[in-house]
Structure 1
Amino acid sequence: MASSTPFLHTFRQNISAIAKPEKFTFPFCYEPHPLSVIAAQEVQDYLATQTDFEHNFGLTEGQEGLIIGKMFGVLIVEDENGNLGYLAACSGKLAGTNQHRYFIPPIFDMLDPQGFFLQEEATINALNREIENLESNPKISALKEQIELCKKLNEQELAEARALHKKNKAERKTIRTVQKEVLGTEDYQELELDLIKQSYRDQHEYDVLKMTCKNRLTAIEHELNTLVKEIEHKKESRKSKSSNLQNQLFDQYHFLNAKGEKRAVLDIFEEAINLLPPAGAGECAAPKLLQYAYLHDLKPICMAEFWWGAPPGSEVRKHRYFYPSCRGKCEPILGHMLQGLVVDPNPMLENPSADVDIEIIYEDQDIIVVNKPAEFLSVPGINVQDSVQTRILARSPEITGPVIIHRLDMSTSGILVIAKNKEAHQFIQDQFIQHTIQKRYTALLDGIITKNEGLIDLPLRVDLEDRPRQVLCYEYGKPARTKFKVVAIENNKTRIHYFPLTGRTHQLRVHSAHSKGLNTPIVGDDLYGKRADRLHLHAGYIQFVHPTTKKMIEFEVADPF
């Protein structure tokens, strides 16, 4: 495919036998099309052998410095003559620059030395340094200390004055009592006037002392406030400049779609989620690729994104693995950019188990125990209502109170306990809360685990920019602990038993895949590993105390894989 379009790559291998997809890739859940796989492999070959730039991906043993793995994307495109080629892009900057021989440029180059962004950023950075210097002024801490000492001194002097005046008052009272019996009326009245003058004098002295103390403290506070106000003024200036710079930056991002319609990023996010765009919106590979294709009259055919390099500290990312586009930054933008293309359906809007029956393995007057199929919801979702809960209520409408006691991820199969009345629900739920219920999951991991057993302790929280993915977070994450025991090694895969001590979202999936966990994803994990026929994770055993008999009962279902 000979083309004068910059950055448009011709396939090195013969792709004539590969049929084009009928629909464009749904970017948030997909199996890469063979054309995307070939293009990605060619980009990976380039990354592995290129000498165009130096970037520490963390792939060279012993290499020092900051390790930064990156997400790359490929977009298969068709020109006006029906010829296929591909574009390649990197999310964010690469090797400290946005300009590369092989990868398309960004929608707006923030690193252009002649551009407004770096120049205004330099002004803001200078303000940051000024603020840091002002905040580190030793006089500030000295004045704060003086204020505290002054407050204590003031309180001490005022307390001593109050004590003295109280003593004087008591003495005047004694004098009145004694002298009233001794002095005549005229002499006593003269004495009373003198005592009143003494009282006024004490009050005046106290008022003068209060004013002296106040002025003494005010003088120090004024000196401190002068320094603090200077800092606050510069912070307000920084805030204003940062806000103006961000708005000026947003103005550079206008996105096209297949209909030729252009929309500003601010309008896109306001309409989609009624929020401002997050930092970096528009800098991911997918929007950059589509924008470049539209600008150069190239028809998007399919796309894929993959990770290259060592994983970041908090996320699960595997070298060379394909991943969906992030939702926080890209979903609103791509929602606009894909308009006019025929796109694969969103699987989250479809019910993959509409014709699947739920197996009931036990039932009595208090509970129902089911074997939930994989890809079946425990409770109704936003888009799909069909679930274990709705099926059970349709089957047994006489059930009262809460139904679901615990949940399994949609992709996880296995034992789910259902309550038929409020009392049973509360009794069993208390056991979950107190961690007295024994649970065992079986998983098939996509690799060999050499350690026979152990404990994984990695706190988790949701990835705010890419829900429902979970990330490792020691600061804000909730405790997540999992015991494991290897069962067998089968065809370079590990069958393992998990005994979760907590019940966090995606706990077993992240503990399996994260580099600080077992560093080996569960087979079929489309979020943290590679897609397959299903997620090979099964809740196969549970033991708890029955709500009525108060006897220990247990259930076990064989692994379906």
Structure 2
Amino acid sequence: MFAPLPEEKAKKYCIDLMQKLDAEKRIDFETPIDKSDARFSTDCITQKDSLGQMFGVCVCLNQNNEEVVLKAFSGQFNSVWNVPGWVPPLLDETTFYETTKESDRLIHQLTDQIEALTKEIKALESQYLEEKPDFAQVQNLKSLRRAKSALQKERKTMSQQSMTEIFSLYRFYCADGKLLQFKDIFKDGTQPPTGCGECCAPKLLSFAFQHKLKPISLAEFYYGTEPASKKKRHKEFYPPCDEKCAPILPFILGLEILYRDDSIVVINKPSGLLSIPGRGEDKLDSVTTRLKRIFPQCIEQPSVHRLDMDTSGLLVLALDKESHKNLSVQFMEGKVHKKYVAFLKNKPSFGKGCKLNPVIENEPLSGRIELPFRLDVENRPHQIYDEVYGKWGITNFQFLPPQEADAMLQVFRLNKTQLEHFRKNYELVAVVFEPETGRTHQLRLHSSSIHGLNAPIIGDNLYGTQTENERLMLHAFELGFTHPKTGVQMFFKT
């Protein structure tokens, strides 16, 4: 994943940390060297038969605007969770050992039994290569194999139960002050990836937010013996990982940051989050609010375009006035590339506002929608079709073949229950929209109107219906624009 915070300042502290590790060959820097604990020697990660480890630094500001530097190592260091001077794990060490003591004993017991059976089975198999077994011996061998298989299944079940108990111990402090658990992130009993929550970035950020610190820079590096795969190099810097960090950092930070520099931020907005704050206390939470919490130096109004609250997908925001002006002009002049994907409740029946392109064999159906709409003043925020006072909205569309439509489902990140509900109740009617104008609710209206596709987007609570376990199935999956400072063409796809 892309590094969510600036790295430069933290990298300087990381280099200092590397030099200290080189010089002292230990990590318990807080302890006088003559009283250093042998467990904290770097020999366990630098010797030939060992494996290195990730280290990270987070530079923060306290409430007095003073710098505070935090450091962390991934997982345990030489089987130790807590080392003085380092950020602690995201679980309580004592509770962890109390929770795992009995399950570990039982799992080891099962492993011993499986290994004993494996030896017995191999011995009999070798014996029967030399002498043909009788019926009773064959049945005995089958019985031993069944017993081994049963024990393996029991061990697997017990290991899964143990992991569920361990994952329930993790606590994440977030940028908004909330305290989350894995169950708040992984729904429907989905298990987090092994090692999730043990990387440097979540440990550092959670500790910072817990202690009312503002993270301003974060960097991580690998130190020690390199793996045979060479995927990690000694003293090389790496961003937070895709497998274990990407699922949880957006919850800790409040935003899924796909790109960031000094001028702009590109995020993947979740469904249910406002692009900008609305009126009232219950509508303060928004992309803009969360962005300013992470990047307090950004301008008051960083938003240059919006997505409906229930629409998910790509948004670009400006961190300074010059970038904001430049991007705003690009949007106004129609120079920004935008594509959305939507899943429709039923097959379309094209109204008078649709102009279909010539049908080409084996090519998906495509065309253009042009319809006028205005605000329904009696039923805000609904828009209604009005040929006299309405403003024209123009959308190009292309339907997806079933295989591509099925692949596109992943961008919506439906949980298990939502996905089962979708497959049970709907066909794969997916359409890609490329709007030329940006009218309010344009794509939702062009889908639902009898003059358009006459097929509401699934989960549209304004122009269709939304039942339990449904969300608006509209996602902005492509975004392209010119970088406001460098002039480089930027392109993003989820």
Category of TM-score, reference length = shorter chain: 0.3 to 0.5
Compute the TM-score of the two structures, normalised by the length of structure 1.
0.35
Task: Return the TM-score normalized by structure 2.
Answer: 0.40
